[in-house]
Amino acid sequence: MRRLSGVVGVSNQTVIKPTVNTVNVRYNIMTALHRSWFAPTTIVVTADGGKVRLTGTVQSPHDREVAVAAAWAASGTTDVESLLAVIGPGRRPNVVAVVWIEAEILT
């Protein structure tokens, strides 16, 4: 680039946002949940772009936290909505919605 009179600096503010493959996001989360000893039939993972929704049942509040953390850890996740019901011994279903929005992934 040649010198231009009056120009004191150039700032490149180009932002590149990768496209998210929904199938890969869902597969990565299901794999992580399986590694965490969750039965694949008790949690349903749906993804729309980087937005992930978890529905189904878990045995404890800790399991719910682990499932949400696994969803956030998946590459391409930008938002997680947890609608997991905690069903443990002697407990009634307790649906808790936890929503994290507008999280940016730094690559």
Residues 6 or more apart whose CB falls under 8 angstroms from that of 57 comprise 42, 43, 84, 85, 86, 87, 93
The Cα 43–Cα 56 span in angstroms is: 5
Distance of CA 104 to the CA centre of its chain: 11
* Average pLDDT estimate for 72-84: 89
The Cα 27–Cα 84 span in angstroms is: 18
Q: Determine whether domain 22-100 maps to CATH 3.30.1340.30.
A: yes
Q: Per mean pLDDT, which of 2-16, 23-37, 58-72 is the most reliable?
A: 58-72
The domain segmentation of the chain, as residue ranges, is 22-100
Decide which of 98 and 31 is more confident. 31
pLDDT tens-digit readout, 21-54: 778 888 888 888 888 776 667 889 998 888 999 9
